[in-house]
Structure 1
Amino acid sequence: MDDWIDYYDSTHTIYASKLHRDLHFEVIARDIVGYIASPDAVVLDYACGEALSAVKVAEACGKLYLAEPAPGVRGRLIARFAPNITIRVRSLDDLRTMDENSVDLVVMNSVAQYMTSAELDSAFDVIHRLLRPTGRFVLGDILRPEVGMISDVLALLRFAATHGFLRDALIGLVSTALSDYRHLRNKVGLQRYGEDEMIAKLGAAGFSATRATRNIGHNPWRMTFVAQH
Structure 2
Amino acid sequence: MDEWIDYYDSTHTIYVSKLHRDRHFAVIARDIVGYISSPDAVVLDYACGEALSAGRVADACGLLYLAEPAPGVRGRLIARFAPNTRIRVRSLEDVKKMAENSIDLVVMNSVAQYMTSEELDAAFANIKRILKPSGRFVLGDILRPEVGMVRDVLALLQFAWKNGFFKDALIGLISTALSDYRELRTRVGLQRYSEDEIEEKLAKVGFSASRAMQNIGHNPWRMTFVARHALTAAEAAVKVNR
User: Would you call these one fold, judging by a TM-score over 0.5?
Assistant: yes
Structural RMSD (CA): 0.4
Q: Normalization by structure 2: what TM-score?
A: 0.94
Q: 2:47 matched to which residue of 1?
A: 47
Runs (4+) of structure 1 moved beyond 2 Å? none
Letter of the 2:44 counterpart: L
1: CA distance, partners of 2:224 / 2:95: 23
For residues 58-137 of structure 1, the aligned pairs below 5 Å read 58-137=58-137
Q: 1:28 matched to which residue of 2?
A: 28
Letter of the 1:98 counterpart: M
Unpaired stretches in structure 2, ≥5 consecutive residues: 230-242
Q: 2:228 matched to which residue of 1?
A: 228
Q: 1:189 matched to which residue of 2?
A: 189
Letter of the 1:206 counterpart: G
Q: Highest Rg: 1 or 2?
A: 2
| Deviation of the 1:98 alpha carbon | 1.1
Equivalent position SS for 2:193: coil
Equivalent position SS for 1:69: coil
| Deviation of the 1:204 alpha carbon | 0.4
| Deviation of the 1:96 alpha carbon | 1.3
1: CA distance, partners of 2:24 / 2:89: 20
2: CA distance, partners of 1:80 / 1:28: 18
Letter of the 1:30 counterpart: R
Q: Normalization by structure 1: what TM-score?
A: 1.00
| Deviation of the 1:37 alpha carbon | 0.3
2: CA distance, partners of 1:118 / 1:163: 37
2: CA distance, partners of 1:201 / 1:129: 15
Q: Please say if 1:143 is aligned against 2:143.
A: yes
Equivalent position SS for 1:21: helix
Letter of the 2:113 counterpart: Q
1: CA distance, partners of 2:206 / 2:64: 24
| Deviation of the 1:197 alpha carbon | 0.8
Q: 2:234 matched to which residue of 1?
A: none
1: CA distance, partners of 2:19 / 2:84: 24
| Deviation of the 1:157 alpha carbon | 0.2
For residues 155-166 of structure 1, the aligned pairs below 5 Å read 155-166=155-166
For these two proteins, the number of residue pairs brought into alignment is: 229
Q: 2:19 matched to which residue of 1?
A: 19
Equivalent position SS for 2:219: coil
Equivalent position SS for 1:203: helix
Unpaired stretches in structure 1, ≥5 consecutive residues: none
1: CA distance, partners of 2:199 / 2:125: 15
Equivalent position SS for 1:10: coil
| Deviation of the 1:144 alpha carbon | 0.1
| Deviation of the 1:22 alpha carbon | 0.1
Equivalent position SS for 1:144: coil
Percent of aligned pairs with the same residue?
79
Letter of the 2:50 counterpart: E
Letter of the 2:210 counterpart: T
2: CA distance, partners of 1:161 / 1:142: 23
| Deviation of the 1:128 alpha carbon | 0.5
| CA deviation string 1:83-137 (max 9, x = no partner) | 1110000000001111110000000000000000000001001100110000000
1: CA distance, partners of 2:98 / 2:5: 22
1: CA distance, partners of 2:103 / 2:127: 9
Equivalent position SS for 1:217: coil
Letter of the 1:162 counterpart: K
Letter of the 1:17 counterpart: S
